[in-house]
A and B are shown apart, each in its own frame.
Chain A
């Protein structure tokens, strides 16, 4: 299975139930009560992932080692 297929599968797992709620295919009191929240949850996931990614990248840029000694060592060679 390629990564693309894996991601499509993951998307289907997340969006399948979401589509069911959106199109009113699945009826239940709990779903009706929480419809608003349920419809927002894929966007919440994306937003959470976005925040997480920014934090990870920012940290990694900040902690990216600067090898000044390596450059000096090379100057001597």
Chain B
């Protein structure tokens, strides 16, 4: 199968992204069109009360049902099941997962595609920690906790990627399906588990430095319970992989 004709599916789980969704779709369409690749965007909305689904339907009228596919769900059911749900009707040979809140910029997708083709990779993951990857809007405390946790993860798990909790990735479709079926964790520990299991299974993984722009203002995403959950997840993976 000629990889030049490969199609790319973007899985976009959304919750209350009525304002960001048109922007991210516009950006995705722009970068995919410039890269001259076939693509589709599957929006998996978990019953957002702010009307995200209506916004998605409008976008579908603008860009067409071939490009914007809607797979809504009744309520918030978690990321792993969102991927499974989206995968069921995905037409692409490659699946891109990313956040819909504009913390991930679609401009990095062509770089992921290029790297995947160049090295025949199974997974390309965006990294904030190496190359010219980075973050915006993080204070010292958050940087310290993030780097500390990542270092601990590297030492204990040897995960095969510099950024294990990142959720901006490109997967070969069968690889994603196999990994999602074998992972049981939730949230960002789920992302960790995916990449660790991928390394254990011998999949070829590459990295593209990305910039992560924190869009969630005034919300502490690294509070006590987050740290506890991370530690539990880390220990779980330590003992089972």
Question: Which residues in A have some Cβ–Cβ distance to B below 8 Å?
Answer: 2-4, 7, 53, 56-57, 60-61, 64-68, 70-71, 73-74, 77
Contact = CB atoms under 8 A, between A and B. Distances in A.
A61 B147 contact: yes
Interface class of chain A by DSSP: helix
A52 to B, nearest CB: 10
Interface residues of B, number: 31
Interface string B144-177: 1001100100011110000000000000000000
A61 B151 CA distance: 11
Contacts of A7: 156, 238
Given A2-B241, A3-B158, 6 more contacts: A57-B147, A64-B135, A64-B143, A66-B136, A71-B137, A74-B102
Contacts of B143: 61, 64
B102 A77 contact: yes
Contacts of A4: 238-239
A62 B221 CA distance: 21
B111 interface: no
B132 interface: yes
Given A2-B241, A60-B129, A71 B136 contact: yes
7 contacts: A3-B238, A61-B143, A61-B144, A65-B211, A67-B213, A70-B211, A74-B215
Contacts of A74: 102, 105, 213, 215
B140 interface: yes
B133 interface: yes
B147 A65 contact: no
B215 to A, nearest CB: 8
A61 B213 CA distance: 17
A66 B134 CA distance: 6
B240 interface: yes
Contacts of B158: 3
B55 interface: no
Contacts of B157: 3
A2 B240 contact: yes
Given A67-B211, A74-B102, A61 B140 contact: yes
Contacts of A60: 129, 147, 151
Contacts of A71: 136-137, 213
A68 to B, nearest CB: 6
Contacts of A3: 156-158, 237-239, 241
